[in-house]
Amino acid sequence: MSDADAQKRAAGEAAAALVESGMVVGLGTGSTAAWFVKALGARQLDVTCVCTSEATAQLAASLGMKLAELGETREIDLTVDGADEVGPGLSLIKGGGAALLREKLVWEASKRCVVIADAAKVVPTLGKFALPIEVVAFGHKTTALRICDALSECDLGIAPRLRMKDGQPVRTDGGNLIYDAACGRIEEPAALADALKSVTGVVDHGLFLDLADQALIGAPDGVHVLE
Ligand code: 5RP
């Protein structure tokens, strides 16, 4: 196992220890979240899980975990999810796994959100990881031009790229497309978040601001807690 994987696993296992029987738990998406799901499944608690993607739902179901749709349970007690970058004030970039919309819906419906990551994800300024932006497929090239305008308003003169896999555009679980914007440095994430949300055709973006309550960061010397 690589060092990064060992750190992801340690963070996932530390987060699983936060869960108590009777909780409604939001399950994130990605390789780090998968460690959390496996560790939680192994504890065999009486919990109800709300998943942020079809992939996570498949994993959780394979472990025999009880699943419910968002909105079918009482409020979610705790959501645990990974991130692509963890910046100042627990600002995050998410969406590397194309699940940002369902993730944000679940996060916003949760009393408490804990982000788990390996140490390399912690950055002084967000933006080295290209920011994922989810757009509806209809007219997406026009929407991409409007996204360029929104980025320039924030002094980010870059063109977002349509995410492709095996020669085809990547589709999210909801059937939307993802554009990735290589911002470099996002000095004012809140302004960028507002500018992107104002573009018709943009469903959401991977900036998660003021949503994480705590970060559990796997590091060579153990799991560090950031609040
Ligand atoms: C999926 C996400 C993931 O949480 C993020 O991409 C981190 O993934 P990983 O844990 O595999 O590094 O936001 O949309």
Ligand 1 centroid from CA 53, angstroms = 11
Q: How confident is the model at residue 28 (pLDDT cuts 50, 70, 90)?
A: very high
Query: Which SS3 state, helix, strand or coil, does residue 21 take?
Result: coil
Question: In angstroms, rounded to a whole number, what is the distance separating the alpha carbons of residues 22 and 10?
Answer: 24
Q: What is the mean pLDDT of residues 157-180?
A: 96
* 30 marked ligand binding residue: yes
pLDDT, residue 20, reads 98
Please provide the DSSP assignment of 75-131 as one string: -EEEEEE--SEE-GGG-EE--TTS-HHHHHHHHHTEEEEEEEEEGGGB-SSTTSSPE
**So what's the pLDDT on residue 158?**
86
Q: What CATH number labels 131-203? A: 3.30.70.260
List, for residues 42-76, the tens digit of each pLDDT value: 999 999 999 999 999 999 999 999 999 999 999 99
Confidence at 23, pLDDT banded by 50, 70, 90 = very high
Q: Which of 210, 174, 213, 170 lies closest to 193, judged by CA?
A: 210
Given a cut of 90, whether residue 157 has pLDDT beyond it is no
Q: Please, what is the Cα angle at 70 between 99 and 169, to 5 degrees?
A: 25
Mean pLDDT of the chain: 97
Q: What pLDDT is recorded for position 74?
A: 95
Is the fold of 3-122+209-226 the same as that of 131-203?
A: no
pLDDT at 134: 98
Whether the pLDDT of residue 200 is over 90: the answer is yes
Mutate which of 29, 38, 172 for ligand 1 pocket (most atoms within 8 A of beta carbon) = 29
Q: What is the mean pLDDT of residues 5-23?
A: 98
CA distance 177 to 174: 9
List, by residue number, the catalytic residues: 103
> Domains of the chain: which residue ranges?
3-122+209-226, 131-203
Cβ-based neighbours of 19, under 8 Å, separated by 6 or more? 25, 40, 43, 45, 47, 78
Mean pLDDT to the nearest integer, 102-118: 98
81 CA distance to ligand 1 middle (Å): 8
pLDDT digits (tens, 9 = 90+) for 126-147: 999 999 999 999 999 999 999 9
What is the 96 CA–ligand 1 centroid distance (Å)? Answer: 5
Q: Is ipTM over 0.85?
A: yes
In one letter, which amino acid is 8?
K
CATH of region 3-122+209-226, choose from 3.30.70.380, 3.40.50.970, 2.40.30.10, 3.40.50.1360 = 3.40.50.1360
Edge-first strand listing for the sheet containing 207-208: 85-86, 92-93, 207-208
Residue 224 has pLDDT above 90, yes or no: yes
Q: What is the pLDDT of residues 76-100, one digit of tens each?
A: 999 999 999 999 999 999 999 999 9
28 assigned ligand-binding residue: no
pLDDT (0 to 100) of residue 68 = 98
Q: Ligand 1, residues 3, 13, 31: which to mutate, most atoms within 8 A of Cβ?
A: 31
pLDDT of residue 191: 96
Residue type (1 letter), 7 = Q
Mean predicted confidence (pLDDT) in 112-129: 98
